[in-house]
Amino acid sequence: MNTTVITEDQTGCWLDNHRGHYISRDAIELAVEFGFIIGPFEQYAVSKYDTDSHTEDYPNEGITELCDEAVEWLNSGQDECQQCSGSGMVLEATGAYIPGVTMQQQPVICKACSGSGRGPRISGQNFPPRIPQDYYWSFEDGDFGLWKHDEEE
């Protein structure tokens, strides 16, 4: 499985606040570049942001909600899969069960994490890039980036 890994030297500001209201759209596009899946209607709205976001009927609230989903996705899948305990494999029974006989099992790829050993997975989505421990994608002082958060934050 080919997964992007972001190292500590790549953390910090990815999108600065000089983008103004375009930063939400840009955060969505960044997530899409990393593998976040959006539908054709969402893609259409994102592509029309430059020309139509100022119009009365443009779904600005929808862009805000999609941005929140993108950030949630970027921060997902950083823990160990609960189904396979991070191994990427689970045991599956083979053949029919016969009472009093030990059932044989074979290792198979864990469906919950697609063999990655990562979790929790957002249904219908790819896994986001791996990020350093204790770092989270978020908006800080108007900038969007990968920031280290401690227990107090």
Residue-wise pLDDT tens digits, 63-82 = 999 999 999 999 999 999 99
Residue-wise pLDDT tens digits, 38-56 = 999 999 999 999 999 999 9
Predicted TM-score of the model (pTM): 0.85
The SS3 call for residue 3 is coil
Supply the pLDDT for residue 14.
Answer: 97
Q: Which two tokens stand for residue 145?
A: 């980036």
Supply the pLDDT for residue 47.
Answer: 97
Q: Which of 65, 73, 79, 85 is nearest to 30 (CA)?
A: 73
Beta carbons within 8 Å of 106's beta carbon, 6+ residues apart: 91, 92, 94
Residue-wise pLDDT tens digits, 119-153 = 988 988 999 999 999 999 999 999 999 999 866 65
Supply the pLDDT for residue 1.
Answer: 46
Q: Look-up: residue for tokens 């770092």?
A: 135
Residue-wise pLDDT tens digits, 104-113 = 778 899 988 8
Percent of the residues in the chain that have a pLDDT greater than 70, as a whole number: 90
**Cα separation, 58 vs 19, whole angstroms:** 19
Supply the pLDDT for residue 39.
Answer: 96
